Amino acid sequence: MDLNFTTEDQTFREEVRSFLRDHLPSGVRHKVLNGTHLDRDDYLAWQRALHARGWGGPSWPAEFGGTGWTPVQQYIFDEACAEAGAPRLVPFGLKMVAPVIMAFGNKAQQDRFLPPILAGTEWWCQGYSEPGAGSDLASLKTRAVRDGDHYVVNGQKTWTTLGQYADWIFCLVRTDPDAKPQRGISFLLIDMKSPGITVRPIITMDGLHEVNEVWLEDVRVPAENLIGEENKGWTYAKFLLGHERTNIAGIGIAKRELARLKRIATSETRHGQPLLQDPLFSAEIARVEIDLMALEITNLRVLSAEAENRAPGPEASILKIKGSEIQQRLLELMTEAIGPQALPFDRDAMAAGYQGDYPLAAYARTPTWQYLNLRKLTIYGGSNEIQRNIISQMILGL
Amino acid sequence: MDFTFTEEQNMLVDTAERFVSKEYGFETRNRIIGSEAGMSKAVWQGLADLGLLALLVPEEEGGLNAGPVETMLVMSALGKGLLVEPYLSSAVMSTRAIAALAGAEQRAEWLEQMLAGTLIVAFAHDEHGARHDPLAVETRAVRIGDGYLLDGRKSVIRHASQAGMLLISARVDDGIALFAVDRDTPGVRLATYPSVDGARAADVFLEQVYLPESRRLGQGDSSDTLLAVLDTGLAALCGEALGVLQRSLDTTIEYARTRKQFGVQIGKFQALQHRMADMLIHVEQARSMTYLAAVRVLDNDAARRAAALSAAKVVVGEACRFVGQQAVQIHGGMGVTDELDISHCFKRLFAIEKTFGSALDHLDRYRRTLAA
Ligand SMILES: Cc1cc2nc3c(=O)[nH]c(=O)nc-3n(C[C@H](O)[C@H](O)[C@H](O)COP(=O)(O)OP(=O)(O)OC[C@H]3O[C@@H](n4cnc5c(N)ncnc54)[C@H](O)[C@@H]3O)c2cc1C
Ligand SMILES: Cc1cc2nc3c(=O)[nH]c(=O)nc-3n(C[C@H](O)[C@H](O)[C@H](O)COP(=O)(O)OP(=O)(O)OC[C@H]3O[C@@H](n4cnc5c(N)ncnc54)[C@H](O)[C@@H]3O)c2cc1C
């Protein structure tokens, strides 16, 4: 047993770190490290910077213009980026639809759709969930009816993250209403500029517009935008859900947030003593740090199984559950650390470069909105209850 | 032992609950928290008309002279409505402080207006960095001539911008004193912001604020009264928490009964049933400790009183966190939207947990009593 990265991996990490030192703009870095909300350009500019270095597709095979990195290298890259304060890569194109297009799309689709994702020139969103189809995704109702060389799509998608920025949406649609639910679903790529698409904002409790309703009314979609075969969409969707695993635990993000928590706990005091030395509070930090330590090793175990081509199994659920709970706990502890300063909630003061008359320490302005925002982590992408069901059924055999 | 409420107490609950359900629906509340003022004058007047602003006013002064149990019950009813008006600050804490400390002329001037609803008084005690160490007051009042000069900063003061008058604690030569400061007094500056739960709060900056002697409440060191007022506030806050907790639980159960996935109501999934059972346990434990707080808040032994109230805040605070988080979780994506009231309950529970010391702050305070 050896828990260390190989020398090559360590050299690789240094290479990534040095790139980050030279190319991560300080403005966006500052935003990420302080929990400030990022806008569309922050994400796209970073994708373009990576693309310029040849790293636009860290999880992609070389034949599609990706880096061809091993899962361990991808992990190292993700972790180094997160720790340095790089924006997360927008997953919908890069990590969700792209692998499906690579595995099941035809050559024309690959040529058309993959390069703009890599270059950061087209934004994708995910059209899976519907008002009636959340955890029970297979019950989705959005209908697509073949009409000559088009599909005519009617229905409603919801919770569409950053759909307001999107050029394209990948949708699960029902093409055979008579088959068993999983059998009648197809996977369609839809241009967001198509007539008949309406995007309506959903405001979340943090006051942000991050998710949307997407209404589809007689939207005509060229049949050439169907991925793979009609009525096989569920297979592709499941492939997608099982694909993105190296970063699902968010170890790098959690380490970064742990460091931020410690910085706050150095500035805030109780009985004249920094919270980092307060017996109660430091015990809480220690507990989450230890939890994270265990998860990191669990994550590496999953990665090396994947590197040896052992089929990645339902243990991704362990990573999702623990990773989301740890991130939520870190933000909870930050709000604890700032005490009553967690109560003021002024969106203007949370923006980067705020110069106004807001009487709180800079580090105290963002934890509360993030704490509210991150409630989503245990709900989306298969809720933690659904993940526990998966563990019970697939691992425990119950 | 007797856990029942009197006829009068039940009527009080009835009055407050009826007012909230008639006058404080979710839509109305949304309009109020979105308005410039951040509170409703009409609602405040309504509370005055029902006599609820007179709850803690002594009988001689036209009040109901009610105690902590009544306060708890009213706060719980208002909590169910997620009321953002300054009831706790003005009608409970400031009223209690004035009733305990103010001289005859002061009472005549303030209490009458307060119970009529024409004067709102914010209780401005907390300071930056004090972390709810209740006597960590750095604001100073220096005697000059026949008055005082106040300097300092009060932090995250709920409703300061909506109040006509602030009760400000400040260090004087012989301890801590309370001063009544009109909001528009020269030298008083407010930095106002929304609070996470939709109410308004402010930091209050005091710079060479001159006050005549007649603006000081009481003589000598008022620390003991101050502690008693803070504990009254904490006990009342626990009462409010109960109302929000109960609403969160009820709303969640109702949602689990109606939302269907996989062809059944999600309330049929045992994982969620057990979660809701745990929520109920938290609510009931919080209720027990809120009763304890309401009874012990009258204890004149400050140390014993503080221990009981801290114990209450630990249990109530943890309930706020668990019930709030699980209520959102069980609502799935709907739980994180601004559109449903459950996220508003969640945010109020979050704020309550952070007010007058978090559960961890009070665990610390309680822990220190063990060796004493
Ligand atoms: C911020 C945010 C962003 C999102 N972004 C996207 C996106 O970009 N694209 C997209 O398609 N979707 C997105 N989603 C949707 C997300 O995947 C769904 O919210 C999720 O699948 C849960 O579905 P639901 O909200 O309908 O909750 P429901 O399925 O109604 O679940 C409600 C509760 O019941 C529990 N539950 C359900 N079934 C079971 C069971 N069998 N056993 C035990 N408990 C159960 C759930 O865990 C949850 O606690 C997003 C959601 C959020 C909150
Ligand atoms: C120290 C001790 C003293 C006892 N004294 C008495 C006594 O004085 N009189 C008497 O009559 N009995 C007594 N019992 C027996 C006790 O009531 C049973 O052990 C108990 O009812 C559980 O039954 P079981 O052991 O068959 O476990 P099972 O019923 O087989 O349960 C096994 C596990 O499954 C869980 N489980 C079962 N059904 C469900 C469900 N529907 N949903 C979720 N989880 C479930 C249980 O919680 C448990 O964790 C005693 C037991 C012990 C250990």
DSSP structure string for A7-57: HHHHHHHHHHHHHHHHHS-HHHHHHHHTTPPP-HHHHHHHHHHHHHTT-S-
Give the model's pLDDT for residue A359.
85
A284 is catalytic: no
Catalytic residue among A83, A244, A325, A332: A244
| Res. A166 pLDDT band, cuts 50 70 90 | very high
Residues A231 and A260 in one domain: no
Instruction: Quote the pLDDT of residue B173.
Output: 93
Amino acid (1-letter code) at residue A169: I
Residue A114 included in any domain: no
Same domain as A135, residue A227: yes
Q: Are residues A351 and A254 in the same domain?
A: yes
- The boundaries of the domain holding residue A376 are 248-395
pLDDT of residue B133: 83
Beta carbons of B196 and A341 less than 8 Å apart: no
Q: What is the pLDDT of residue A312?
A: 59
* CA B21 to each of CA A251, B18, B51, B346: distance values in angstroms, whole numbers, following the listed order: 46, 5, 17, 19
Q: Are A252 and A378 in the same domain?
A: yes
Ligand 1 neighbours by CB, cut-off 6 Å: A 126-129, 134-135, 159-161, 211, 376, 379-381, 383, 385-386, 389; B 259, 261-262, 266, 269, 271-272, 329-330, 332-333, 336
* Torsion over CA: B318, B323, B326, B327 (sign): negative
Q: Specify whether A230 is located in the same domain as A279.
A: no
In a domain, A353, yes or no: yes
Q: What is the mean pLDDT of chain A?
A: 94
User: Is A200 among the domain residues?
Assistant: yes
A381 part of a folded domain = yes
Going by alpha carbons, the residue nearest to atom 32 of ligand 1 is: B332
Of the ligands numbered here, which is closest to the C-alpha atom of B274?
Answer: 2
Nearest CA to ligand 1 atom 38: A135
Range A87-113 average pLDDT = 96
Please count the structural domains in chain A.
3
DSSP A94-133: IIIIHHHHHHHS-HHHHHHHHHHHHHT---EEEE--BTTB
Question: A130, A189, A131, A197: which is closest to A164 by C-alpha?
Answer: A197
CATH of domain B123-217: 2.40.110.10
How are beta strands A168-174 and A124-127 bridged, if at all?
parallel
Ligand 2 centroid to B275 CA: how many Å? 20
Q: What is the pLDDT of residue A351?
A: 85
Please identify, by atom number, the ligand 1 atom nearest to the C-alpha of residue A129.
11
Tell me the C-alpha distance between A85 and A98, whole Å: 25
**What is the C-alpha separation between A262 and A264, in angstroms, rounded?**
5
Residue A270, domain member (yes or no): yes
d(CA A388, CA B244): 29
A218: helix, strand or coil: strand
Identify the burial level of A136 via C-beta atoms within 10 angstroms of its C-beta, where 0-12 means exposed, 13-18 middle and 19 or more buried: middle
Q: What is the pLDDT of residue A304?
A: 82
**For the CA of B273, the nearest ligand:** 1
Q: How far apart are CA A184 and CA A235, in angstroms?
A: 11
In a domain? residue A110:
no
- As a whole number of Å, the end-to-end CA separation of chain A is 32
Read off the pLDDT of residues A370-392 as tens digits, 9 standing for 90 and up: 999 999 999 998 999 999 999 99
The torsion angle over the Cα atoms of residues B194, B196, B199 and B203, rounded to 10 degrees, is: -50
Pairing of strands A143-147, A150-158: antiparallel
State the pLDDT at residue A2. Answer: 84
Segments of chain B with pLDDT less than 70: none
Note whether A58 and A136 are same-domain residues: no
B36 burial (CB, 10 Å; 0-12 / 13-18 / 19+) is exposed
pLDDT of residue A246: 64
Burial (CB count <10 Å: 0-12, 13-18, 19+), residue A99: buried
Residue A191, helix vs strand vs coil: strand
Q: What is the pLDDT confidence band of residue A309, given thresholds at 50, 70 and 90?
A: low
User: pLDDT tens, A180-231?
Assistant: 999 999 999 999 999 999 999 999 999 999 999 999 999 999 999 999 999 9
**Do residue A291 and residue A230 come from a single domain?**
no
User: Would you identify the CATH topology of the domain B223-370?
Assistant: Butyryl-CoA Dehydrogenase, subunit A; domain 3 (1.20.140)
CA-based nearest residue in chain B for residue A138: B262
Which residues in chain A are closer than 8 Å to B321, comparing Cβ atoms?
332
Q: Is residue A96 part of a domain?
A: no
- Kindly report, residue by residue over A285-300, the tens digit of the pLDDT: 999 999 999 999 999 9
pLDDT, mean of residues A322-337: 98
Domain ranges of chain B: 7-120, 123-217, 223-370
d(CA B362, CA B368): 10
Q: Do A261 and A235 have their domain in common? A: no
Cβ neighbours, 10 Å, residue B152: 20
Judgement on whether residues A150 and A174 belong to the same structural domain of the protein: yes
Q: Are A18 and A81 in contact (CB under 8 A)?
A: no
Phi and psi torsions of A213, nearest 5°: -95, 140
pTM of structure: 0.97
* B34 in contact with chain A, both atoms CB, cutoff 8 A: no
Looking from the CA of residue A163, the nearest atom of ligand 1 is 8
Q: Kind of pairing, strands B264-265 and B260-261?
A: antiparallel
Classify residue A300 by its DSSP letter: H
Residue A345, chain B, CB below 8 Å: the answer is yes
Share of chain B above pLDDT 90, in %: 96
Q: Which CATH number goes with the domain that contains A388?
A: 1.20.140.10
Closest C-alpha among A245, A246, A226 to residue A236: A226
Of A239, A257, A280, which residue is a domain's last?
Answer: A239
Same domain for A154 and A196, yes or no, is yes
In a domain, A334, yes or no: yes
Query: Which of A159, A335, A359 is facing B333, going by the closest CB pair?
Result: A159
Residues forming a β-bridge with A172: A187
Residues A260 and A228 in one domain: no
Q: Does A324 touch chain B (CB under 8 A)?
A: no
Q: Given an 8 Å threshold on Cβ–Cβ distance, is B333 in contact with A342?
A: no
In our burial notation (b when 16+ CB lie closer than 10 A, e otherwise), range A20-51 reads beeebeeebbebbbbbbbeeeebbbebbbbbb
What CATH number should be reported for the domain whose range is B7-120?
Answer: 1.10.540.10
pLDDT in tens, A11-58: 999 999 999 999 999 999 999 999 999 999 999 999 999 999 999 999
Note whether A350 and A320 are same-domain residues: yes
Whether A147 shows a pLDDT value over 60: the answer reads yes
